[in-house]
Amino acid sequence: MKFLMRISLSVILLNACALGLISCSKSNDTPNRPNIILIMSDDMGYSDIGSYGGEIYTPNLDKLASNGLRFKQFYNTSRCCPTRASLITGLYPHQAGIGHMTDADHKLKPYIGDLSNKTMTIAEVLKLNGYSTYMSGKWHVTPHVEPDGPKYNWPRQRGFDRFFGTIIGAGSFYDPNSLTEDNTQIPPGENFYYTDAISDRTVKYINQHESDDPFFIYVAYTAAHWPMHALPEDIKKYEGKYDRGWDVMRQERYDRMIKMGLIDEKWAMTERDPDSYPWEDEELKEWRSRCMEVYAAMVDNMDQGIGRIVNSLEEKDELKNTLIFFLQDNGACAENIGVEEMYEAERYEKMERKPMQSDELQFRMIPRYTRDGKTVRHGIGVMPGPADTYIAYDLPWANASNTPFRLYKHWVHEGGIATPLIVHWPEGIKSKNEFRDQPGHLIDIMATCVDVSGANYPSEYKGNKIIPMEGRSLKPAFDDRAIQRDALFWEHEGNRAIRIGRWKLVARTEKWMRVTKSKLSEWELYDLEDDRTETKNLAEKYPDRVKEMAAQWEKEAKRLGVLPWPWDTYVEID
């Protein structure tokens, strides 16, 4: 009788674990499960960091690369919150409910702008399997950002034991909107700089973790998303570095990338973006140089923080069995936020404003005033960096950040979706300082975490049927073996693509955030082994291949919920 009771109790516990009613540890079965740290930066170009061809000083990321792997053909989904939804669920963003952005509900399940309850986050899956789970940084997968609003899709409610960061997608680095500790929104405090705060909180999580079970930490930086905010000591390192302009920067990066073996010399450099112009034609060179100096300083500061995170792992003798990923959420950002728009700054300058109270919260993504009462300045010629500025680094520099590719965040040409992926795991990866050519996607990160941790991925959780993982584990690629898959898929704002083997079919919309049938362009076809930079459109040469791949895209679009688009609900932005 006692034996039967033990069996019944075991069955009950296993069922409860699968349903997400209790946490289940597997530490006794898999004692060598690695810690996992997932690091993602924001709005950065493919070639910004040193180990991918950039001139920005990133010694800590470069060291991880030299002692690990660099993936040449890894992909995101071309935009902030769709990428974050895809990354943490292992699904395409439409399946996760965020086919577009979080600021509008288009009344279709793939476009509700809120993380679906039919998904599980990496944190939820790993927590069920005995991991401690922490997050520091940008969340951006729910429209509910108010301190007294719904919190069912905040990090603590989606599997994280601890959270420090912002719920919203962007804001001042000195006074961010929706800054949150666990479930409570907080003011920034003195001498606050968000990138440093994200890094330091991650170090704190590592130092305070005392359990014998492993941990998962999601580190989601907002660097180098606009606004261009950086500390004076970091900006100083780059004074004068970009005085030769974006054309020289592009060529030098291209040459370095070929020399290091990251790109093939037969892939032509893309032409300068038609909306850019030669550096010698720039009239405000000092201001333009400063924009890139601040951008570089933001990336530099992030790298310093990653160095502190790695050091804390070394001090606790945890680095050897910690799997570290570094990637970016989309390609470089060509948005000109604050560059041309003035946001009625002159009107605000005439209004009196007292300094904010120490416990006062910031509720604006673009603040009108700093915490000490200064008017926030926008417009051409405003030197970025300090808290009283709010501008982006603009299209010409974004074009250089994405060397050698074309187009940017929003689009699904290579410039919008190609990301570095650095993977470092001394106990799990024998190879060092090697490239991997296997194509991969954000959807593969969940599958990889489940694979290396030995975790169970439930079919039901909290009473909801869970969508099966879409991705494939990257673990075979760690040993330089193939990843078996049929195709990779993209859609964002009518920009659409499918990759099957070496072939990529891709098309774009004419305007950002506008999906109308009249604005959908024709398909383009590229052989990425011969032309990764997408300079030789083969659509006319291979019409049957275009037709076949377009049909496959349509099939996937219907399966994933992309079609029908909410044609009339998008707002055009010129």
Chain segment 433-457, per-residue pLDDT in tens? 999 999 999 999 999 999 999 999 9
Q: 445 — phi, psi (to 5°)?
A: -70, -45
Exposed / middle / buried, residue 1 (Cβ in 10 Å: 0-12, 13-18, 19+):
exposed
pLDDT surpassing 50 at residue 572: no
d(CA 561, CA 99): 9
Q: 287 — phi, psi (to 5°)?
A: -70, -45
Q: Are 216 and 155 in contact (CB under 8 A)?
A: no
| Pick from 206, 217, 221, 199: nearest CA to 139 | 221
Q: Where are the alpha helices (DSSP H) in 457-568?
A: 475-478, 543-560
Query: Could you say which DSSP state residue 225 is in?
Result: S
More confident residue, 392 or 563: 392
Q: Are 52 and 401 in contact (CB under 8 A)?
A: no
Residue 520 banded pLDDT, cuts 50, 70, 90: low
pLDDT of residue 1: 38
Residue 352 banded pLDDT, cuts 50, 70, 90: low
d(CA 318, CA 293): 35
What's the mean per-residue pLDDT of the chain?
91
pLDDT of residue 566: 60
Chain segment 460-511, per-residue pLDDT in tens? 999 999 999 999 999 999 999 999 999 999 999 889 999 999 999 999 986 6
d(CA 276, CA 399): 8
Residue 350 banded pLDDT, cuts 50, 70, 90: low
pLDDT surpassing 50 at residue 28: no
Region 27-42: what's the mean pLDDT? Answer: 79
What is the percent of the chain with per-residue pLDDT over 70, rounded to a whole number? 89
More confident residue, 339 or 195: 195
pLDDT of residue 416: 98
Residue 349 banded pLDDT, cuts 50, 70, 90: low
Among 24-33, 205-214, 410-419, the range scoring the smallest mean pLDDT is 24-33
pLDDT of residue 353: 78
Q: Evaluate the omega torsion of the peptide bond into residue 143 and state whether it is cis, within 30 degrees of 0.
A: no
What is the percent of the chain with per-residue pLDDT over 90, rounded to a whole number? 85
Q: 548 — phi, psi (to 5°)?
A: -65, -45
pLDDT of residue 5: 36
Residue 19 banded pLDDT, cuts 50, 70, 90: very low
Kindly write down the DSSP assignment for every residue of 358-418, as one continuous string.
TTPPP--SS-SB-TTSPBPB-STT---BSTTB----HHHHHHHHTTT----TT--SHHHHE
Residue ranges of domains in the chain, CATH in brackets? 34-483 (3.40.720.10), 486-574 (3.30.1120.10)
> Measured in whole angstroms, how far is the alpha carbon of residue 481 from the centre of its chain?
26
Distances (CA, A) of 516 to 336, 498, 519: 24, 20, 5
pLDDT of residue 354: 82
Whole-prediction pTM: 0.92
pLDDT of residue 22: 42
pLDDT surpassing 60 at residue 409: yes
- Give the chain's radius of gyration (CA, Å): 23
Region 143-168: what's the mean pLDDT? Answer: 97
Kindly write down the DSSP assignment for every residue of 430-477, as one continuous string.
---SEEE---EETHHHHHHHHHHHT----SEETTEEPPPP----SHHH
Residue 32 banded pLDDT, cuts 50, 70, 90: confident
pLDDT of residue 346: 52
pLDDT surpassing 70 at residue 524: yes
